[in-house]
Amino acid sequence: MPKKSIEKITSSWFEGELRLVGSLDSRMIGLLKAIEQSGSINKAAKQVGLSYKGAWQMIERANNLAPKVLITTATGGANGGGTSLTTAGHSLLQLFTRIDQQHKQFLLQVNQALADDPIAQMLLKRLVIKTSATNQLFGTIIEIERGSVNAEVVVKLKGGELVAASISLSELRQIDLNIGNDIVLLINDPEIIIATDPDNYSFSARNSLRGKVVRLQMDGVDTEVVIHLPSGDSLVAIISQASAEAMGLKLGVSAHALFKSNAVMIGII
């Protein structure tokens, strides 16, 4: 199974939207800017992705909240009417723009401080990994055994459990895996087999992690099984409801999560 790069780490650890009072947020300010540029609610609404009715509702709320009217409209006349910002509207727009610049500078400074802090990096970098895989396990490579075509990478989880992942030698070189690397292991839930008494059976699965069933969610066909490992990590598996019932799965039961080494995808932190 080919392994792919699965995470995208961003340097923007700290985010926050600027909002003044009530509904005076960046979307409302965007509408004010568009009205200032176009002189038309209809054009401004399209510019910021609002319906005409939605734009009017935002304007009405803003006018009601503000101590002075922010937007005025005119109908008829030589120019066919239009919408414009009042003096108070222009002042609010300038105020928000000035505060927004300060807000962005503040975020930049905080993110720079976090980027320079190794403890913050350690705590935060795992939280920004985005992947479609249900299960994510973090650990450290303790062994790499190379074969003629593939390599087996042994990873020690934070609770001491060992997981083996199979990867081709070319992929091993491509992502430059080495002993001591901190990595993330990704396993899709259908790849995991649940067993309640594996000692009495023979399995070809390379990995077996023991824990307790903490959640069962049945939908009439399939069952989502969540196993809580002693380390605090959790694994999610999808099995048929018939299998779950035949095994007598229930909350608190000891169970093993079994999966093959080639079912594990590897990502570098």
Amino acid identity, residue 231? S
- Cα–Cα dist 252/202, whole Å: 24
CB crowding 168-188: b at 16 or more within 10 Å, else e:
eeebbeeeebeeebebbbbbb
- pLDDT the model gives residue 8: 37
Query: How is the chain split into domains, by residue range?
Result: 1-130, 135-268
- pLDDT the model gives residue 164: 95
- pLDDT the model gives residue 124: 60
What's the CATH number for 1-130?
Answer: 1.10.10.10
What's the CATH number for 135-268?
Answer: 2.40.50.100
Q: Counting Cβ atoms within 10 Å, is residue 133 exposed (0-12), middle (13-18) or buried (19+)?
A: middle
- pLDDT the model gives residue 11: 52
The answer to whether the CB of 74 falls within 8 A of the CB of 63 is no
- Cα–Cα dist 70/88, whole Å: 5
The answer to whether the CB of 71 falls within 8 A of the CB of 83 is yes
- Cα–Cα dist 201/191, whole Å: 19
Q: Is the pTM of this model over 0.85?
A: no
- Cα–Cα dist 142/90, whole Å: 62
Token pair recorded at residue 52: 């005409």
- Mean pLDDT per block of 10 residues along the chain (269 residues) reads 39 66 75 89 88 84 77 57 83 87 84 74 57 77 93 91 92 88 89 82 81 90 91 88 90 92 85
Q: How far are the Cα atoms of 56, 95, 119, 187 from residue 72, in angstroms, in the given order?
A: 12, 19, 53, 58
**246 phi/psi in degrees, rounded to 5:** -65, -35
Q: Is residue 39 left, alpha or beta, with left meaning phi > 0 and alpha meaning psi from -120 to 50?
A: left
- Cα–Cα dist 9/1, whole Å: 24
- pLDDT the model gives residue 132: 53
Token pair recorded at residue 160: 């001491």
